[in-house]
Amino acid sequence: MTSRVISDARPRSRLGWLDGLRGLAALVVVYEHALDPLYPELRGVTGPWFDAGMYGVMVFFLVSGYVIPASLERRGSVSGFWIGRAFRLYPLWAVVVAAALLLGLTGFDPLHRLLTDRPASAILGHLTMLQDLLNVPNLVNVLWTLSYEMAFYLLVTALYLVRAQLRSAEIACGFGVVAVAAGGVLPSALLSRGADATLVTVLAVIALVGCGLAGVLSSRPVLRRAGAVVLGVVPLGLIALNGRLPAWQSLVILATMFAGTALYRARSGGLGGPRAFALAGSVPVAAVGAGIWHGQSFPWAWVITVVAAWATFAAGMLLAERRVPAGWAWLGMVSYSVYLIHPILLEIVDGLLADPASVAWPYRVGLGVVTLAVLLGCAAVTYRLVEVPAQRVGRRLAARGR
């Protein structure tokens, strides 16, 4: 959901399908989060059959898996990759976090109790962007996906440094198998039960990731290998033992991202096509199986959501040679802003409608249209004034570090 740098043998104009997918995913996530403050009746109709929010983020995860490893390999520089990622993610993140804090401090949207009771854990956890894997409540609900993005970056870096980056298809299949076989017995928040344990875990993760990054940026091969091991072990340990989501679902997310990478390699000719497609294709099967096996009842919504997300991505690949309409391409370009900003606007809408079901539909539809227009306007502004300048600075700094 956050990726813009793409490496591929084909011209950039022929990768507009990824922007189209981002644009679609962003709108679907906005729709999901607009249900409670605007259209609660629709949730009872569609909720048992389709999870629009999970559909959107699964499409985003597939896109990230497709482009992120290619970005690292195109750069050929771990330091350049991380500088680029930092300037891609954190500037807009900081703006949205500041807006959320302002809503909380003014009482418009009170902060989660654990954020105020454990300020050190909350601040440090969010700064790592791993807060969802550290038992720290998300200041903004959509920030949980960035924790999985960050975990993926750490794993991709580790695999690149130990020269195992071409094993993405096998890794995706492996995560899928583990999700089905062991996802239901692995614990949640094992390392962060209680305020003291949470802070210790946050500090330990900061120290380990810091040491790992220092190691991989070292000129000494032994330190680079040691750093790579640390960067690989930390996210795996958090996902297996300490995530907010059930472990099987976290493992499915990782499997999905690595499957996206496998599809990129197969499509760009860098890996055996039929085998890679087969291994990647096992991931949605494993995702459905994990949901059925570990769910309390047959999860029709999960099954349909997984199938729909993968079908959407497959359709995008099949139509990749077609020109994407300019509006969809633009929406994909500003999708990170749309994704992070829309919860702030919807919190304001929620404050305006105490009981949305009691308000006439024409008024709510009109308010939804106005909210979407404001959202797209804000996204255009933050993309132009925050995202683009920050990425420009990141590219300059990354170039100096080569």
Range scoring the smallest mean pLDDT among 137-141, 184-188, 261-265: 184-188
Residues 270-281 have pLDDT tens digits of 666 788 888 899
**Mean pLDDT to the nearest integer, 224-243:** 95
Check residue 298 and give its pLDDT.
Answer: 63
**Mean pLDDT to the nearest integer, 17-43:** 94
Distance of CA 12 to the CA centre of its chain: 23
* pLDDT band at residue 252 under the 50/70/90 scheme: very high
Domain boundary assignment for the chain = 12-400
Check residue 402 and give its pLDDT.
Answer: 60
Average pLDDT along the chain: 90
Check residue 400 and give its pLDDT.
Answer: 79
**Contact status, residue 187 vs residue 247, Cβ threshold 8 Å:** yes
Check residue 384 and give its pLDDT.
Answer: 98
* pLDDT band at residue 17 under the 50/70/90 scheme: very high
* pLDDT band at residue 262 under the 50/70/90 scheme: very high
**In Å, what is the CA distance from 118 to each residue of 108, 124, 131, 200?**
21, 10, 13, 12
**What is the residue-wise DSSP string for 106-171?**
TTSSPPPHHHHHSHHHHHHHHHHT-GGGTT---SSGGGHHHHHHHHHHHHHHHHHHTT-GGGHHHH
Amino acid at 371: T
Check residue 108 and give its pLDDT.
Answer: 72
**Contact status, residue 347 vs residue 107, Cβ threshold 8 Å:** no
Check residue 352 and give its pLDDT.
Answer: 86
Q: Tell me the pTM.
A: 0.93
Check residue 401 and give its pLDDT.
Answer: 59
Any alpha helices (H) in 162-299, and if so which ranges?
Answer: 168-182, 195-216, 221-241, 247-267, 273-294
Percent of all residues in the chain with a pLDDT value above 70, rounded to a whole number? 94
* pLDDT band at residue 12 under the 50/70/90 scheme: very low
Check residue 263 and give its pLDDT.
Answer: 93
**Mean pLDDT to the nearest integer, 87-107:** 92
Smallest CA-to-CA distance from 59 within 252, 260, 248 is with 260
pLDDT at 5 over 80: no
pLDDT at 267 over 90: no
Residues 317-363 have pLDDT tens digits of 999 888 888 899 999 999 999 999 999 999 999 888 889 988 999 99
Give 363 or 117, the one with higher predicted confidence. Answer: 363
Tokens 């220092």 locate to 214
Tally of residues, the chain: 402
The two three-digit tokens of residue 266, written as one number: 């197969």
Smallest CA-to-CA distance from 93 within 147, 134, 53 is with 147
**Mean pLDDT to the nearest integer, 145-170:** 95
Phi then psi for residue 117, to 5 deg, are -75, -30
pLDDT at 366 over 80: yes
The two three-digit tokens of residue 115, written as one number: 């954020």
pLDDT at 149 over 80: yes
Check residue 116 and give its pLDDT.
Answer: 74
Percent of all residues in the chain with a pLDDT value above 90, rounded to a whole number? 70
**Contact status, residue 87 vs residue 388, Cβ threshold 8 Å:** no
Q: Is 374 exposed, middle or buried (0-12, 13-18, 19+ CB in 10 A)?
A: middle
Q: What whole-number distance in Å separates Cα of residue 146 and Cα of residue 130?
A: 7
Check residue 183 and give its pLDDT.
Answer: 86
Check residue 297 and give its pLDDT.
Answer: 63
* pLDDT band at residue 296 under the 50/70/90 scheme: low
**Mean pLDDT to the nearest integer, 153-167:** 94
Q: What whole-number distance in Å separates Cα of residue 71 and Cα of residue 165?
A: 12
Smallest CA-to-CA distance from 333 within 277, 379, 373 is with 379
pLDDT at 109 over 80: no
The Cβ-side half-sphere exposure at 344, using a 13 Å CA radius, reads: 22
pLDDT at 14 over 70: no
